[in-house]
Chain A
Amino acid sequence: MADTVTNEGHMDRQHLSASEDAELVDEVALQNEAALAELYARYGAVVTGLARRILGDGQLAEDVTQDVFVHLWNHADKFDAHRGKLRTLLLTQTHGKCVDLIRSRNARSAREAKLMISTAPEQAAIDAELMALTETELIREAVKQLPIDERIALETAYFGGNTYRQVALVLGIPEGTVKARIRSALRRLHTLLSDPEPTVPSSASPDRPAS
């Protein structure tokens, strides 16, 4: 099998952690199809999942997935690891494409912006190698810690594909409030998720004696 660990073992799949995304992108820039395949294995499910959540249409979501990875293939040489993470790039592009689709669809049907508050659907079991499930759980936990007003504003904008002005109309709150809540929600998420220590330690001793 092609995906077995090689004898040298220095680049076995255990070592292909997220920190090596940039290295794979360099390979993709050299038109190394296997490197793109590896990135697809890592992020294909995340990209498709996000697109599906926003668009509500599996076929459309897969079209977006195709676009995102073909775009990466064609533009990998422009990726600068010093300026951002690959997954941020992929998810941002996915989100942008979906929002464009939603808005052109809305422009045709003039449908009203919808509230998109819902619980995440149960997901089918995903090959653990494809995605660090623990990170997904961490993110979900962090989202739950957001103040509910901020969470609603972020969710309505992000998953609903709405502008902040539309969110303000839908929620009946001032535009400035929407801008502030979205920014605050993202800042909180960034803080919660970049903190190496869990916010609520589950097993740490609360009264550790001073050393």
Chain B
Amino acid sequence: MTAFLNHSEVQELLGAYAVHAIDDDDSRAIEAHIQGCAECAEELAQLLDASAMYGMTELEEPSGEIWGRIQSEIRRNVPTFADESESAVASAPVISLDTARQRRAERAPRWRIAVASAAAAAAIAIPATLSFAGGSTAPTLAAIAKQTQGQVGSRTLPLLDAAGVSLADAVISSTGQGFIRPSTLTALPDTQTYQLWLIKDGVAISSGLLGSQPGVSTFTVRNDVDAIAISVEPASGSLAPSSTPVAVASLA
């Protein structure tokens, strides 16, 4: 059962959504609505701020070993530097920002490379609306998609137009984490958007709006889905496709 929620239904649920008090189906419907509704997005931002403050009344200092565990975890994800001999960071959780800046200046060019590979090595689950992951994510998403492509069990499928030309491809991990990578999707006017659909038994289920000039986007696909498709829709998106898909990939 695919939930669709109209504006006032979403509004009623925003508070519950902000405190993770709703079911997954409702979450997806709310996220789909919020992408196209500035009013709800604004209210949600306020409710999230409020819920975060509500959660800040309990303080408990983590034990001393936690910082060490975080350090070893994050260092596992980046290349080791031969000249990394300083141990101040390891022993002191807080160092001056000036020191930090100085270090960054020394190593910035190499770290930039490390950023990309660290992101690629990170867990591929991209949190949805709640994480603020937004429009500026394309380069990193591209890196993660590429990383996913190399993983065991992942698939890469072209999304073809009616003439059989590939307009985008989809990378899908073994766990169903998917990435849409547009290649030749032409930019649309602001009044329109590309919308992603999951097709099951001939029924199209919205998997979110890709925007008028799509970059790399994420989606989640269940293993019983037959195909994924992209259509052109009004900027606020559609409940069901209002036009013939411009590109389709069969998952069968």
Q: Are A6 and B96 in contact (CB under 8 A)?
A: yes
Q: Are A120 and B21 in contact (CB under 8 A)?
A: no
Q: Are A41 and B93 in contact (CB under 8 A)?
A: yes
Contact (A136, B45) CB under 8 Å given A66-B70, A78-B133: no
Q: Are B119 and A75 in contact (CB under 8 A)?
A: yes
In angstroms, how far is the closest chain A Cβ from the Cβ of B143?
10
Q: Are B132 and A79 in contact (CB under 8 A)?
A: yes
Q: Are B115 and A29 in contact (CB under 8 A)?
A: yes
Q: Are A30 and B89 in contact (CB under 8 A)?
A: no
Interface residues in B, total, Cβ within 8 A: 71
Main secondary structure of the interface of A (DSSP, over half): helix
Q: Are B60 and A45 in contact (CB under 8 A)?
A: yes
In angstroms, how far is the closest chain A Cβ from the Cβ of B46?
5
Q: Are A46 and B50 in contact (CB under 8 A)?
A: no
Contact (A164, B22) CB under 8 Å given A35-B100, A89-B131, A136-B57: yes
Would you call A38 an interface residue if the criterion is a C-beta within 8 Å of the partner chain's C-beta atoms?
yes
Give the residues in chain B near A111, CB-CB below 8 Å. Answer: none
Q: Are B70 and A96 in contact (CB under 8 A)?
A: no
Task: Report the Cα distance A184→B45, complex, angstroms.
Answer: 14
Interface membership of chain A positions 47-82, coded 1 if the CB is closer than 8 angstroms to chain B and 0 otherwise? 111101100001001100110011101110111100
Task: Report the Cα distance A184→B19, complex, angstroms.
Answer: 13
A-side interface size class:
35 or more
Give the residues in chain A near B39, CB-CB below 8 Å. Answer: none
Closest to B125 in A: A71
Stretch at the interface among B7-15, B146-154, B187-195, B239-247: B7-15
Would you call B47 an interface residue if the criterion is a C-beta within 8 Å of the partner chain's C-beta atoms?
yes
Give the residues in chain A near B111, CB-CB below 8 Å. Answer: 30-32
In angstroms, how far is the closest chain B Cβ from the Cβ of A119?
11
Q: Are A74 and B119 in contact (CB under 8 A)?
A: yes
Interface membership of chain B positions 102-118, coded 1 if the CB is closer than 8 angstroms to chain A and 0 otherwise? 01100010011011001
Contact (A91, B55) CB under 8 Å given A37-B93, A190-B50: yes
Give the residues in chain A near B14, CB-CB below 8 Å. Answer: 183
Q: Are A136 and B59 in contact (CB under 8 A)?
A: yes
Contact check: which of A13, A88, A164, A189 meets B16 at CB < 8 Å?
A164
Would you call B201 an interface residue if the criterion is a C-beta within 8 Å of the partner chain's C-beta atoms?
no
A–B pairs, 10, beta carbons within 8 Å: A34-B97, A46-B56, A50-B55, A69-B70, A71-B123, A75-B122, A120-B57, A154-B54, A163-B16, A187-B50
19 more A-B residue pairs beyond the given contacts A49-B58, A71-B123, A157-B16, with a C-beta to C-beta distance below 8 A: A1-B92, A2-B99, A31-B118, A34-B103, A46-B56, A49-B60, A66-B69, A66-B70, A73-B74, A73-B77, A78-B132, A78-B134, A83-B132, A92-B48, A120-B57, A136-B56, A136-B59, A139-B57, A185-B15
